[in-house]
Structure 1
Amino acid sequence: MEDEPRPGRPVTACGDANISKVLVSLSDDRRKTCEEISTETSMSRTSVFRVLTNKLNNNKKFSKWVPHLLTDEQKESRINFSRNFLRRFQTEQNDFLGRIITGDETWVYSWDPETKR
């Protein structure tokens, strides 16, 4: 089974060339809006948004584009912390567990994020 040829131009908005354009623009300043990136790259705002969210897995947090997934360094750091905790537990047993302080996962920011103004 094969697709029959269809008229029209193939979709190239999310191609490798456009992804690299968006990456270059974003590397200068992660606080850029989709509109600013679209004027720099000569792409539509929707295409820029699609590249940022679908292809690069970025989210807009506190007016800054950040990767949705952990970086390799963050993953390695978590593995190292877990290994150190396991090693300490094996040597100290229950004494180690008594020294752990836990809390809820509520994040309270005491600073205001930078704005473009």
Structure 2
Amino acid sequence: MEDEPRPGRPVTACGDANISKVLVSLSDDRRKTCEEIFTETSMSRTSVFRVLTNKLNKKKKFSKWVPHLLTDEQKESRVNFSRNFLRRFQTEQNDFLGRIITGDETWVYSWDPETKRQSAE
């Protein structure tokens, strides 16, 4: 199914110019909110959100805008690391695991957030 052309003004909020504005704004700081990007780019709040989620495929996780999916390069890198680890495990067996999994070098920082907003930071 396809939409037939309709009369009216074309949607320009998610155009290339606005997408590049949002990308430039995010390149400075990925922790920016839609409100902060809205004030920098003079786009509407909903347009900023649409560009971030629909056009750039970003999602807000732990107060940062991150991609929904891994890029092909990131996927390939993970596969290569996994294959390398498997090869080393096959040759070194438990000696290899003993060097990776350590319990005495773990440092844990305990902090109880008071609000939901603090827990996202």
TM-score norm. by structure 2 comes to 0.67
**Inter-partner Cα distance in structure 2 for 1:28 and 1:77:** 26
Q: How many angstroms does 1:88 deviate by? A: 3.3
**Inter-partner Cα distance in structure 1 for 2:2 and 2:100:** 61
Q: Does the Cα contact within 8 Å between 1:62 and 1:113 map onto a contact in 2? A: no
Q: Which runs of 5 or more residues in structure 1 are unaligned?
A: none
Q: Taking structure 1 as reference, are residues 11 and 34 closer, same or farther at Cα in structure 2, changes over 3 Å only?
A: same
Between 1:46-55 and 1:62-71, the stretch displaced more is 62-71
1:64-100, CA deviations, whole angstroms, 9 ceiling, x for partnerless residues? 1111222455323312122213423554679979999
**Inter-partner Cα distance in structure 2 for 1:113 and 1:64:** 18
Q: Report the 3-state secondary structure (helix = DSSP H, G, I; strand = E; otherwise coil) of the residue aligned with 2:70.
A: coil
Between 1:5-14 and 1:56-65, the stretch displaced more is 5-14
Q: How many angstroms does 1:16 deviate by? A: 0.8
RMSD: 5.0
Between 1:62-71 and 1:9-18, the stretch displaced more is 62-71
1:21-60, CA deviations, whole angstroms, 9 ceiling, x for partnerless residues? 0000111111111111111111100010000011111111
What's 1:45 paired with? 45
Q: Taking structure 1 as reference, are residues 99 and 3 closer, same or farther at Cα in structure 2, changes over 3 Å only?
A: closer
Instruction: Looking at secondary structure, tell me which structure has more helix per residue.
Output: 2
Between 1:19-28 and 1:4-13, the stretch displaced more is 4-13
Q: Taking structure 1 as reference, are residues 36 and 82 closer, same or farther at Cα in structure 2, changes over 3 Å only?
A: same
Q: Taking structure 1 as reference, are residues 76 and 108 closer, same or farther at Cα in structure 2, changes over 3 Å only?
A: farther
Q: Confirm whether residue 68 of structure 1 aligns to residue 75 of structure 2.
A: no
What's 1:100 paired with? 100
Number of residue pairs matched by the alignment = 117
Between 1:105-114 and 1:80-89, the stretch displaced more is 105-114
TM-score norm. by structure 1 comes to 0.69
Q: Taking structure 1 as reference, are residues 33 and 75 closer, same or farther at Cα in structure 2, changes over 3 Å only?
A: same
